[in-house]
Amino acid sequence: MFIRAYLRASTSEQDASRARSVLDAFAVEQGLRIAARYVENESGAKLHRPELFRLLNDCEPGDVLLVEQVDRLSRLTSPDWIRLRGLIDAKHVRIVALDLPTSWTLTAPADEFTGRMFAAVNAMMLDVLAAVARKDYEDRRRRQAEGTAKAKAAGLYKGRPANKTRNAAISSLLSDGRSWREIMDATGCSRTLLAKIARDRRLLKAATSVETDG
């Protein structure tokens, strides 16, 4: 049995590795060892998350997917959550979340009856918490949209400021020829942001080349 920790943050401005110490402490308390960590900056409302699916691809039957909270794994719609659960169940991977104590027993040996009982309770609670996480996501999106609309109406909306220091570091790493995976690991940026900065660099280079030729 391998323990595979999944650490996610929604945006490149957030630290996806923030929960590492909490997960490490939990593993020590339970007498476990985390074999691998998968870190990414992607929305939990998206089913397509490269690191999550790399984790699942690496899993063998009986492995544990460890998360700080269920919402780190899913803020998905019901159909997407059912699809993800199906993939996880097909791999015979056990989900253990720190905010779901019933799941903690899945890391310890148990007789067949006890194991099945806790698995059933855990599955039900996972579905409940996944539904709560989705509702929280939708409520926050609605409030944000309402706030943005009011700010725009008042002429106060300026959008999210760019993190110039981080973006400059990403651009420098691209100049050095670093791979996208190395850059994402080093800066915690999302693939979407990295693609945008790489595209902007290409456009700037093309424009500079035209001016020089002129």
Q: What is the pLDDT of residues 141-165, one digit of tens each?
A: 899 888 878 877 877 666 666 688 8
What is the residue range of 109's domain? 3-135
DSSP 81-128: HHHHHHHHHHTTPEEEETT-GGGGGGGS---HHHHHHHHHHHHHHHHH
Same domain, 10 and 100: yes
Note whether residue 142 is domain-resident.
Answer: no
Do 65 and 95 form a contact (C-beta atoms < 8 A)? yes
How large is the C-alpha radius of gyration of the chain?
21
The answer to the question of residue 97 being in a domain is yes
Q: Sorting pLDDT into bands at 50, 70 and 90, what band is 134?
A: very high
Over 90: is that where the pLDDT of 7 sits?
yes
For the stretch 163-200, pLDDT in tens is 888 888 899 899 989 999 889 888 888 888 899 999 98
Q: Is 131 found in the same domain as 192?
A: no
Show which of 81, 114, 135 is a domain's final residue: 135
Same domain? 114 vs 43: yes
Tell me, what's the pLDDT at 192? 87
Residue 131 and residue 169 in one domain? no
Q: Does residue 179 have an active-site annotation?
A: no
State whether 202 and 114 are in the same domain: no
Two tokens at 43? 């929305």
- pLDDT confidence of residue 15: 80
pLDDT(79) > 60: yes
- What pLDDT, on a 0 to 100 scale, did the predictor assign at position 73? 95
- Kindly report the average pLDDT of the chain as a whole number: 88
Active-site residue (options: 10, 12, 74, 190): 10
In a domain, 148, yes or no: no
**Closest of 73, 33, 82 to residue 53, by C-alpha:** 73
* pLDDT band with cut points at 50, 70 and 90 for residue 18: confident
Closest CA to 39 of 55, 59, 10, 17: 17
- Strand 64-67 relative to strand 34-41, pairing: unpaired
Give CB contacts under 8 A, 24+ apart, made by 21-28: 22/68, 22/98, 23/66, 23/67, 23/68, 23/98, 26/66, 26/98, 27/3, 27/66
Average pLDDT score over residue span 96-116: 85
**Residue 70 clears pLDDT 70, i.e. is over it:** yes
Q: What is the DSSP letter of 160?
A: P
pLDDT value, residue 166: 84
> CA-CA distance, 12 to 35, in Å (whole number)?
25
Residues 14 and 56 in one domain: yes
One domain for residues 51 and 103: yes
pTM above 0.75, yes or no: no
Is residue 146 situated within a structural domain? no
Contacts of 28 (CB under 8 A, 6+ apart): none
Number of domains the chain is built from: 2
Can you state the angle between helices 164-175 and 180-187, rounded to 10 degrees?
150
